[in-house]
Structure 1
């Protein structure tokens, strides 16, 4: 299964984050390394910041791919580590929780609980990088916007998610994105809003974009 197999038909974000942390894959896939012709891959490579993370088993790589979102699952439903582990248990009867925690420790996955200090720390330490091409407004639904390849739409999202895809890469971190959103959407009295209040919304929309293969998370450069 490839990242492109992940469902991409969601158009919104759940207003209420689920119990537990949201699950995010981290890094840009660089491909497999083969030891020789007609041999299976020795490992898969992810670029995370200035480093390369190596996934030495197909199981590890498969879980990293599934962390983008389960095929057939509406991408507007929050995706968690527990949901991923349960989906594998139901399909194969295996408990992959220990391996998921190894991937968390390696930095290939991140678990983020909205509304916590850890979420703020995550936002300071990571940034979003866009993939695909913006194809503009859907001709069938003016409230939806298309992402994909020229002549080949691959994802349809709402306008705020499209705006996030468009502008987030211009900011050094996810936290800077939230600060910018708070400044352009002031609270009572015209004062800048609270970036922490925008973070939960941004995290949910990032899951939509990542599940649609429209971008990836990277570490902030120090």
Structure 2
């Protein structure tokens, strides 16, 4: 299975220069990085384009071609963004996923709205009176509290501990490693609607 591409950093807007040029600014930790248009396109595509989209190198290259950026250029840009830490390649079920979680945080950007009115097993995220995303209870708990922990792995451990204490028995909620797998498999559904962003550890 091809690893997923995880975008790192928070979009903080466009910087215009005196010659009419523009660079997109991304903050990752305490560093602000300026991206060219092709770099920004690839970084954006790594967020996903919908709830079912799970971006990989190949899917991002294919999507970039539809935006008139060649697959070769998209691959080169992906390599560049990985090298500077604005993209990460992660297999949710592989061992290095824990290392990724120990080096990054998940930071919420929208409001938690509580249970969905039609599907009470799901939690909603969005703006007041305007649900934007639906997630499982396990994902919701991590999304809501992860920014208060040193890194994402501890957030998953804390969520699993709370689930055990309240009597939950499903392993995908009580085992931290399974919680992390679930988060990484579904996080693009949050990233693509700007319900959250991934940042470098301890510097969100």
Q: Please tell me the TM-score bracket, short chain as reference.
A: 0.7 to 0.9
Aligned 1:111-130 pairs, distance under 5 A: 111-130=89-108
Question: 1:27: which partner in 2?
Answer: 9
Residue 214, structure 1, aligned to residue 192, structure 2:
no
- By relative contact order (CA 8 Å, sep 6+), the higher-ranking structure is 1
Question: What is the root-mean-square deviation of aligned Cα atoms in Å?
Answer: 2.5
Q: What SS class does the counterpart of residue 119 from structure 1 fall into?
A: helix
Displacement after TM superposition at 1:146 (Å): 2.4
TM-score, with structure 1 as normaliser: 0.77
Displacement after TM superposition at 1:46 (Å): 1.0
Aligned 1:51-200 pairs, distance under 5 A: 51-55=31-35, 57-70=36-49, 73=50, 75-89=51-65, 92=68, 94-95=70-71, 96-185=74-163, 194-200=175-181
Displacement after TM superposition at 1:122 (Å): 0.7
Q: Deviations over 1:123-181 (max 9, x none)?
A: 11001110011222333332333222223332233333222221222211111022223
Displacement after TM superposition at 1:77 (Å): 4.6
**Runs (5+) with no aligned partner, structure 1:** 1-18
Alignment length, in residue pairs? 194
Tell me: CA distance 1:135–1:181, structure 2 relative to 1, closer, same or farther (3 Å): closer
Tell me: CA distance 1:114–1:134, structure 2 relative to 1, closer, same or farther (3 Å): closer
TM-score, with structure 2 as normaliser: 0.83
Residue 45, structure 1, aligned to residue 25, structure 2:
yes
Distance 2:122 2:160 in 1: 23
Displacement after TM superposition at 1:50 (Å): 1.5
**Runs (5+) with no aligned partner, structure 2:** none
Displacement over 6 Å in runs of 4+: none
Contact 1:161/1:209, CA 8 A, preserved across alignment: no
Q: What SS class does the counterpart of residue 197 from structure 2 fall into?
A: strand
